[in-house]
A and B are shown apart, each in its own frame.
Chain A
C-alpha cells in the first residue's frame, strides 16, 4: 500500500513537474485571458441586458467570466490529453509500462497528474477573475479550487480514454477538435439555459454537458441569489455531477488503460 502511494505520487509528479516548462505558453494564455475578460467580456455585457436580474448590479459580465474560465479550463485539460498522446507516440508509454509500477497506479497517476497540471495552468486566470469580482471568502475560493481540480481531472480522464480508444495521433487530433467545439458550444458557458429552451435538443445537451455543470456551479457558488434563475440545478447536484464525472472518468481511464495497454495495446 505504501509502495503504491509512493508510486502514485511519483507518477503524478511526472505531469506536474512539466508545468514549469511551459512558462511562455502559460504567459500567452494568461495575457489572452486578461484581454478576453477585460475587453471582450465588458463589450459583450453592454450588448446583453437581462431584465430579470436583480438590482445588485450582477449581470451578464459575471455570468460570462465564469463561462470563459470554464471554457479555458476545459481546453487546457484537453490539451494535456494531446500531450499525453504525443508522449505515447514518442515511446514514453513503453518506458512507463516497463517500470515497476502497477498499471492501475500508472493510469490513475497520469489522470490525476494531468488534471493537477491543467488546473495549475489555469490557476492565475481563476485568481484574476476572483480579483476582478472582489471575491475574498477563503472557504468559497477553496471550494472553487477543489471543484475546478476535480473537473480538470475528469476531463483529462476523458482525453486519456479518447487517446487510448483511438490509438492514432491523427484520429485523436480530429476527435479532440470535434469534442472541444461541440462541448463548448452545446453548453451554458455563454448562453443561459432558459434561452436555449426554444430548441429542446440544444437545451438538453447543454443541461447534461459537463461544462455547463462546472460553469453553473461556480456561478452558484459566488452569486447564487443573483444568477439562480439561470442555474438549472441546485449547487449540490452540480457539484455531485462534477465529482461523479471526475471519479467516473478516472476509473474508466484506469480500467481502459489496463485493458488497452497491457500487452502493447498502444501499437
Chain B
C-alpha cells in the first residue's frame, strides 16, 4: 500500500475538543486512508476516545472538522453516520437487555430486514461464542461476553468505516486472536478500520499505520517499522542493576557513549544509543568501575513499546508530567 496515493476515508483537520478548561484534542491533523487498518495508540486520557466519538458524530468538535468520505461531521452528520459503525470501549446496553434483542434491534436499525437480521445476528454471535448467552440478561454476562456483544454490533453492521475502541480489553488470549481475525476479515470485505488501543501487540499485529496520541496531540505517525526506525538512537541497551544508580553516574554514561537519551526507573536503565553493539562493552566497563553490579544486560532494537514510551513521555523515568 502506498498511503499517500490512496483516497482518504477520514480527514481530520485542525480538530480541537474542549470540555470546560480541559483540552481533550488539541489541533489534531490526520488522514486515514480507504482500506487501511489504522491503529490509534495512546495512554488513558490521551484523546483517542474523544477523537473516535467525534468521527462517529457523537461529539461535536469545538473547532476544526472531520471529513468522512468527504462528508463533514459538523455539516453532514446524518450522512457521516451512514458510513460509520463504532464498538465503544464500554459496552452500551441496559442491564435488563438481552444480547439477542440488543443485536437484532441494532441489525434492523443499520438496515437489515427482519429475516436477514436474524441470520446475521446468529452468525456473528456464533462466531464470537456468545450465542448460548443470547437470552441472558446483559447484567448476568461476564465482562468479556459484554465486550463481545459490543463488538458484534460492528461485525453485524459491516460499515464502510469501522471503529473499535479498545476491542480486546477484557478478552482472553484465544478470543483476542479471533477478534483480530474478524477485524482483518472486515477489512478484506472493504471496510476501513480504526482501532484505538493501549496494547502494543494489538496495534502491531493489526495496523498498517499507527498514530500515537498524547495529551490530545498526535506525537508520531507511520507504519510500525517507520516508527521504530524513527526513534533517535535506534538501539536500546537495557541494564538491570543491584542497588540505586546516581543521576550523576547516568549523566556520565550519557556523555561518555554519546547516548541520545537515558531512562532510569529503580534498577532498570534504558540507554537509547546509535550503534549499540559497539558501545555495550564500554557500558559494562563503566558500571563495573562505578561499583555497580549488573544483573542483566541486553541489546535490542526498539519495539512498539519503546516507540510508545518514547513519544508519550518518559514514563520509565517516572515522569508522569
Contact = CB atoms under 8 A, between A and B. Distances in A.
B220 interface: no
Interface in A55-103: 87, 90-92, 94-95, 97-103
A17 interface: yes
Interface in A21-40: 21
Given A99-B81, A100-B82, A264-B53, A94 B58 contact: yes
A99 B96 CA distance: 21
B110 interface: yes
Interface in A1-60: 7, 10, 13-14, 17-18, 21
Contacts of A263: 59-61
B51 to A, nearest CB: 12
A176 B57 CA distance: 30
A94 B109 contact: no
A101 B81 contact: yes
Interface in B53-85: 53, 56-61, 77-78, 81-82, 84-85
Interface residues of A, number: 24
Interface in A120-170: none
Contacts of A173: none
Given A98-B58, A264-B60, A90 B105 contact: no
Contact of A92 (B57, B82, B92): B92
A102 B109 contact: no
A21 B88 CA distance: 25
Contacts of A103: 77-78
B94 interface: yes
A13 B108 CA distance: 11
A258 to B, nearest CB: 11
B109 A7 contact: yes
A113 to B, nearest CB: 12
Contact of B92 (A21, A94, A262): A94
Contacts of B59: 263-264
Interface in B98-131: 101, 105-106, 108-111
Contacts of A21: 96
B105 A10 contact: yes
A7 B105 CA distance: 11
A126 B21 CA distance: 52
B307 interface: no
Interface of B: 19, 53, 56-61, 77-78, 81-82, 84-86, 88, 90, 92-94, 96, 101, 105-106, 108-111
Given A92-B93, A263-B59, 20 more contacts: A10-B108, A17-B105, A21-B96, A87-B94, A90-B92, A90-B94, A91-B88, A92-B92, A94-B88, A97-B58, A98-B56, A98-B58, A98-B84, A99-B109, A100-B81, A100-B82, A100-B110, A102-B78, A263-B61, A264-B58
20 contacts: A7-B109, A17-B101, A90-B94, A92-B92, A92-B94, A94-B92, A95-B92, A98-B81, A98-B84, A99-B81, A99-B106, A100-B82, A100-B109, A101-B109, A103-B77, A263-B59, A263-B61, A264-B58, A264-B59, A264-B60
